[in-house]
């Protein structure tokens, strides 16, 4: 991935990052959908912000749960936050009063922490979900291809993607199923491994059954069949999910081949008795069978759980697993936060290096300017000097300036501790007045 | 006496175990790859240790209990690496390396200080007979570990209370396949190894005889594992029942390896 600026400005004297956005934590879905950016709108917004001089670099991250605008404001010290808020109200045509309290602003290390937490899934509605990492990669990739990023956002987003990957690989935040449907499918995988080549039968066509079917399909289930008392609904679900529907009367026969059975039908009596499942199990040659009973009242006789090589989970079992997983994921948050803090440190260290290089460049420019002024002021005194002698004075003073600049430059580069390096930069800025316009 | 390579090999097994355990807990593929590399390095170091000891004792590594057990551990590591590559599954690595550590550590702790008496040269046929039989025992050892994991996993699934590391364990189907592959390796190695043994016996005495406790027990082991392989695919036996048989069979392997060799046989006794 390229890391050089698209704006052609390699080093800033002070690296600044601004963030404005709203998410599921601050705004209801009605407002979020109005503030959302399509991919084209995101690029157009970045262009407008850069053209207007509000930002030098910009990336818009827009998902169903958040719309966030990350940018690098210019060094002139203008009110980036106010400008960004005005931009959002104008871009989407939303009155500022509606956004009051719904929008958050963050700057520098807080903005960095926020982005890293987003990429790690810690700010997601479903803790640790991994979809956000893909969305972040896409948003950044589009901005990069479009040319609206620069060295700062390139570094920031690449670090964010790295954090996201590390948190998911080194902690348990992103593992273990967090929904009943997903838990059922993941448990089936604990029995069969890959679901490719296996067959599933779904009894019922309700909402939860549909979620299970969707998860099964996403996990590559080999064959999917749906049975429902209402054949039309079964056909509808089967068609949408790429399976086949069966008549309710064919249920007994249909039970013999599937490895996974998901039941979610309404009724006061169990649909699958222990005896029926025992017969089915024998007919299958005792091969393992995984049964998910999502019905309330239960669709499968609980005694069926005692059958050899048959694994039966009802909705409460799955609910307990989900709850246990949620707690386990939450317990991993401190580990994830520690990784985030580590990466913030790395990013800040990089920012300080950029600032240090910029600072010594400014110091050199300042000294060269002073030397030019001095030579001009003393030109009358040096009237008797030949062109070669003048040239020699310039060369000698060039060398002197390089020596003077070299020491702070080396010291800043060698200092490993970020706090000391920052203090050094600030001291140099103050000492030589390198923040002023005259520099 | 343990040479330097023995310590290097044990250290590499320990490091490999740490990485496999970390891999089991997290999802970092690189940690998993590092664990495999460390195990491969440990197996190489183990080979160097076996070679160094053979040079010191002027005999093959299986002539005494120490050498034989060390060879067993080495072959267990080799067989596991083969299965890991074949099945693309490294979640059981932590358990196998733990067994390797315990076994190797035990072997090292009881290593004799004096070299055993140098036996007469018995030729490559005998070497193949012993090595293949040890390979068979190592493969059965591996299937024992896999069957134990299967039984634990099955119990957890049946009880509907998955624990923390449950989601990282290999699926029951994968464990069963790995265990059966391992037993097939063991059966083939044992069949060929025993055949070589009978041929060698015929060369030595001019007759075939099974009248030795070691041969009888080995034939029983062969029959039991053959029965396991057959039952594991049969209705009503596949799954936990077959895994239980596989795990129990290994008790007889341990009996044959220790009690029979040390006390019940004269023909197969260690030096």
Q: Where are the domains of chain A?
A: 18-174, 180-321, 360-432
Residue A158: burial class (beta carbons within 10 Å; 0-12, 13-18, 19+): middle
Measured in angstroms, the CA of B157 and the nearest CA of chain A are apart by: 7
A191 at interface of B, judged by CB pairs closer than 8 A: yes
Give residue for tokens 């000891």: B53
Chain A residue numbers with beta carbons less than 8 Å from the beta carbon of B158 are 305, 311
The residue in chain A having the minimum alpha-carbon distance to the alpha carbon of residue B172 is A191
Annotated active-site positions of A, please?
Answer: 64
User: Which one of B29, B171, B239 has the shortest CB-CB distance to A189?
Assistant: B171
Answer yes or no: is pLDDT of B271 > 90.
no
Q: What number of C-beta contacts closer than 8 Å exist between A and B? A: 66
Phi, psi of A396 (to 5 degrees): -65, -45
Any idea what DSSP says for residue A300? Answer: B
Q: Is B217 helix (H, G, I), strand (E, B) or coil?
A: helix
pLDDT at B268: 58
pLDDT at B140: 94
Gap between the Cα atoms of B187 and B190, Å rounded: 5
The residue in chain B having the minimum alpha-carbon distance to the alpha carbon of residue A329 is B164
pLDDT at A437: 45
The residue in chain B having the minimum alpha-carbon distance to the alpha carbon of residue A193 is B171
Strand order in the sheet with A310-314: A244-246, A223-227, A199-203, A260-263, A289-293, A310-314
Best probe of the B interface among A187, A188, A190, by most B CBs < 10 A, is A190
Measured in angstroms, the CA of A327 and the nearest CA of chain B are apart by: 11
A302 at interface of B, judged by CB pairs closer than 8 A: no
Helix B123-159 vs helix B93-109: crossing angle, to nearest 10: 130
Chain A residue numbers with beta carbons less than 8 Å from the beta carbon of B167 are 175-176, 186, 190
Chain B residue numbers with beta carbons less than 8 Å from the beta carbon of A282 are 235
pLDDT at A200: 94
The CA-to-CA distance between both ends of chain B, in Å, stands at 16
Measured in angstroms, the CA of A214 and the nearest CA of chain B are apart by: 21
Q: Report chain A's C-alpha Rg in angstroms.
A: 32
Do the beta carbons of residue A9 and residue A110 sit within 8 Å? no
pLDDT at A6: 47
Please choose, from the candidates B18, B23, B129, B142, the residue with its C-alpha nearest in 3D space to the C-alpha of residue B74: B142
**Structural domain ending residue among the three candidates B73, B98, B115:** B115
CB contact under 8 A, B239 and A321: no
CB contact under 8 A, A311 and B157: yes
The residue in chain B having the minimum alpha-carbon distance to the alpha carbon of residue A168 is B27
Structural domain tally of chain B? 2
Alpha carbon of residue B231 to chain centroid: 22
The residue in chain A having the minimum alpha-carbon distance to the alpha carbon of residue B161 is A321
Do the beta carbons of residue B271 and residue B122 sit within 8 Å? no
List the beta bridge partners of residue B50.
Answer: none
Q: Do B145 and B270 lie in a common domain?
A: yes
pLDDT at B164: 60
Gap between the Cα atoms of B117 and A135, Å rounded: 70
Overall average pLDDT of the B107-115 stretch: 72
More confident residue, B115 or A234: A234
CB contact under 8 A, A170 and B236: no
Cα-based angle A347, A349, A350 (whole degrees, multiple of 5) = 65
Chain A residue numbers with beta carbons less than 8 Å from the beta carbon of B235 are 282, 285-286
Cβ-based neighbours of A420, under 8 Å, separated by 6 or more: none
Give residue for tokens 């495999």: B36
CB contact under 8 A, A190 and B27: no
Cβ-based neighbours of B172, under 8 Å, separated by 6 or more: A190, A191, A192, A288, B150, B153, B154, B157, B239
Q: Do B194 and B74 lie in a common domain?
A: no
Helix A108-120 vs helix A131-146: crossing angle, to nearest 10: 130
Gap between the Cα atoms of A292 and A213, Å rounded: 12
Chain A residue numbers with beta carbons less than 8 Å from the beta carbon of B173 are 191-193, 288
Measured in angstroms, the CA of A435 and the nearest CA of chain B are apart by: 46
Print pLDDT tens along chain A (439 aa). Answer: 333 344 444 455 678 899 999 999 999 888 888 999 999 999 999 999 999 989 999 999 998 889 999 999 987 666 788 899 999 999 999 998 888 889 999 998 999 999 999 999 999 887 888 889 999 999 999 999 999 999 999 999 999 999 999 998 888 787 777 778 888 888 999 899 889 889 999 998 777 778 888 889 888 899 999 998 888 888 888 888 888 888 888 888 889 889 999 998 887 788 999 999 999 888 888 889 999 998 888 899 999 999 999 999 998 888 888 888 888 888 889 999 999 999 999 998 888 888 777 777 888 888 888 888 888 888 888 888 888 888 888 889 888 888 887 877 777 666 666 666 667 777 777 777 666 544 3
User: Which one of B29, B153, B160 has the shortest CB-CB distance to A317?
Assistant: B160
pLDDT at A411: 72
Q: Do B50 and B151 lie in a common domain?
A: no
Gap between the Cα atoms of B151 and B240, Å rounded: 6
Q: Is A62 helix (H, G, I), strand (E, B) or coil?
A: strand
Q: Do B88 and B28 lie in a common domain?
A: yes
Chain B residue numbers with beta carbons less than 8 Å from the beta carbon of A302 are none
Cβ-based neighbours of B53, under 8 Å, separated by 6 or more: B3, B6, B61, B67, B70
CB contact under 8 A, B28 and A170: yes
The residue in chain A having the minimum alpha-carbon distance to the alpha carbon of residue B153 is A190
A260-263 vs A223-227, strand pairing mode:
unpaired
Average pLDDT of chain B, as a whole number: 84
Longest dimension (CA), chain A: 117
Give, for A313, the enclosing helix (H) or strand (E): strand A310-314
Helix B4-25 vs helix B93-109: crossing angle, to nearest 10: 150
Please choose, from the candidates A128, A129, A156, the residue with its C-alpha nearest in 3D space to the C-alpha of residue A140: A156
Question: How far is residue B5 from each of residues A404, B49, B55, measured CA to CA in Å?
Answer: 57, 5, 13
Among the residue ranges A249-258, B20-29, B152-161, B243-252, the one predicted with the least confidence is: B20-29
Do the beta carbons of residue A356 and residue A434 sit within 8 Å? no
Q: Work out whether the CA dihedral A157, A161, A167, A173 comes out positive or negative.
A: positive
Cβ under 8 Å to B: A residues 211-250: none
Please choose, from the candidates A357, A368, A356, A366, the residue with its C-alpha nearest in 3D space to the C-alpha of residue A427: A356
A168 at interface of B, judged by CB pairs closer than 8 A: yes
Chain A residue numbers with beta carbons less than 8 Å from the beta carbon of B236 are 286, 308
Which residues of B fall below an 8 Å CB-CB distance to A?
A: 25-29, 153, 157-158, 160, 162, 164, 166-167, 169-174, 234-241
Domain extent for B155: 123-271
Chain B residue numbers with beta carbons less than 8 Å from the beta carbon of A187 are 157, 162
CB contact under 8 A, A308 and B240: yes
Q: Do B85 and B137 lie in a common domain?
A: no
CB contact under 8 A, A187 and B157: yes
Measured in angstroms, the CA of A146 and the nearest CA of chain B are apart by: 33
pLDDT at A404: 81
Among 3.30.460.30, 3.40.50.11900, 3.20.10.10, 3.40.50.2020, name the CATH number for the domain at A18-174.
3.30.460.30
Can you identify the CATH homologous superfamily of domain A180-321?
NAD(P)-binding Rossmann-like Domain (3.40.50.720)
Gap between the Cα atoms of A156 and A114, Å rounded: 11
A328 at interface of B, judged by CB pairs closer than 8 A: yes
Q: Do B100 and B150 lie in a common domain?
A: no
CB contact under 8 A, A192 and B173: yes
Q: Do B105 and B134 lie in a common domain?
A: no
Q: Is A244 helix (H, G, I), strand (E, B) or coil?
A: strand
Cβ-based neighbours of A180, under 8 Å, separated by 6 or more: A208, A211, A294, A315, A318, A319, A322
Q: Do B24 and B109 lie in a common domain?
A: yes
CB contact under 8 A, B235 and A192: no
Do the beta carbons of residue A241 and residue A221 sit within 8 Å? no
Q: Do B83 and B158 lie in a common domain?
A: no
pLDDT tens digit string along B59-106? 666 667 777 788 888 989 999 999 898 888 888 899 899 989 998 888
Measured in angstroms, the CA of B174 and the nearest CA of chain A are apart by: 6
Gap between the Cα atoms of A202 and A134, Å rounded: 31
ipTM over cut 0.90: no
Cβ under 8 Å to B: A residues 97-126: none
Peptide bond into A304 cis (omega under 30): no
Q: Do B137 and B266 lie in a common domain?
A: yes
């Amino acid at each position: 991935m390229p890391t050089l600026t698209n704006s052609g400005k390699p080093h800033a004297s002070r690296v600044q990052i601004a963030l404005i956005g709203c998410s599921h934590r601050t705004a209801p879905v009605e407002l979020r959908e109005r503030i959302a950016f399509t991919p084209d709108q995101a690029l157009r917004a970045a262009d407008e912000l850069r053209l207007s001089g509000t930002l030098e670099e910009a990336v818009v991250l827009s998902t169903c749960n958040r719309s966030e605008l990350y940018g690098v404001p210019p060094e002139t010290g203008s009110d980036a936050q106010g400008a960004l808020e005005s931009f959002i109200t104008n871009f989407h045509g939303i009155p500022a009063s509606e956004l009051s309290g719904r929008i958050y602003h963050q700057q520098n290390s807080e903005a960095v922490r926020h982005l890293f937490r987003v990429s790690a899934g810690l700010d997601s509605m479903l803790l640790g979900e991994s979809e956000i990492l893909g969305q972040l990669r896409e948003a950044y990739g589009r901005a990069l291809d479009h040319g609206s990023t620069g060295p700062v956002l390139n570094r920031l987003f690449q670090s964010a993607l790295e954090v996201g990957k590390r948190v998911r690989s080194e902690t348990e935040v992103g593992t273990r199923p967090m929904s009943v449907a997903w838990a059922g499918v993941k448990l089936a995988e604990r029995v069969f491994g890959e679901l490719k080549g296996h067959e599933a039968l779904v009894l019922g066509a309700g909402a939860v059954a549909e979620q299970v079917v969707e998860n099964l399909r996403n996990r590559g289930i080999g064959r999917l069949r749906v049975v429902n008392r209402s054949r039309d609904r079964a056909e509808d679900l089967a068609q949408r999910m790429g399976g086949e529907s069966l008549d309710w009367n064919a249920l007994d026969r249909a039970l013999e081949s599937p490895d996974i059975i998901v039941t979610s039908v309404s009724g006061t009596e169990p649909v699958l008795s222990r005896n029926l499942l025992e017969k089915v199990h024998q007919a299958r040659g005792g091969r393992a069978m995984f049964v998910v009973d999502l019905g309330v009242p239960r669709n499968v006789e609980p005694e069926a759980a005692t059958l050899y090589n048959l694994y039966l989970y009802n909705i409460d079992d799955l609910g307990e697993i989900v709850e246990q997983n949620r707690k386990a994921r939450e317990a991993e948050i401190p580990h994830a936060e520690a990784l985030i803090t580590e990466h913030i440190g790395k990013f800040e260290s990089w920012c300080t290096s950029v600032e240090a290089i910029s600072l010594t460049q400014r110091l050199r420019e300042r000294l060269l300017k002073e030397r030019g002024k001095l030579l001009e002021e003393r030109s009358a005194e040096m009237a008797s000097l030949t062109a070669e002698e003048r040239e020699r004075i310039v060369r000698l003073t060039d060398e002197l300036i390089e020596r003077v600049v070299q020491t702070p430059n080396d010291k800043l580069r060698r200092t490993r501790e970020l706090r000391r390096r920052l203090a050094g930069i600030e001291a140099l800025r103050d000492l030589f007045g390198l923040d002023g316009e005259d520099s | 006496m343990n040479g330097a390579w023995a310590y290097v090999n044990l250290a590499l097994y320990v490091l490999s175990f740490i990485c496999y355990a970390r891999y089991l807990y997290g999802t970092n593929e690189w940690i998993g790859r590092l664990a495999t590399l460390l195990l491969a390095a440990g197996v190489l170091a183990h080979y160097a240790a076996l070679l160094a000891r053979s040079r010191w004792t002027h005999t093959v590594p299986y002539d005494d209990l120490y050498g034989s057990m060390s060879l067993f551990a080495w072959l267990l590591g080799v067989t596991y690496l083969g299965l890991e590559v074949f099945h693309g599954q490294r979640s059981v690595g932590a358990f196998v390396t733990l067994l390797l550590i315990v076994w190797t550590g035990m072997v090292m702790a009881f290593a004799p200080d004096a070299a055993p008496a140098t036996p007469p040269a018995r030729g490559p046929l005998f070497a193949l007979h012993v090595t293949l039989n040890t390979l068979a025992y190592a493969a059965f050892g591996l299937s024992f570990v896999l069957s134990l994991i299967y039984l634990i996993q099955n119990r957890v699934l049946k009880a509907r209370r998955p624990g923390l590391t449950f989601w990282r364990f290999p699926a029951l189907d994968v464990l069963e396949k790995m265990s059966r592959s391992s037993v097939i390796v063991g059966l083939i190695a044992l069949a060929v190894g025993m055949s070589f043994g009978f041929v060698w016996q015929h060369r030595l005495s001019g007759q075939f005889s099974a009248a030795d406790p070691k041969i009888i027990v080995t034939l029983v082991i062969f029959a039991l594992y053959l029965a396991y392989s057959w039952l594991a695919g049969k209705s009503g036996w596949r799954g936990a029942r077959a895994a239980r048989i596989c795990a129990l069979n290994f008790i007889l392997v341990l009996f044959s390896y220790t009690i029979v060799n040390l006390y019940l046989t004269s023909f197969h006794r260690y030096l």
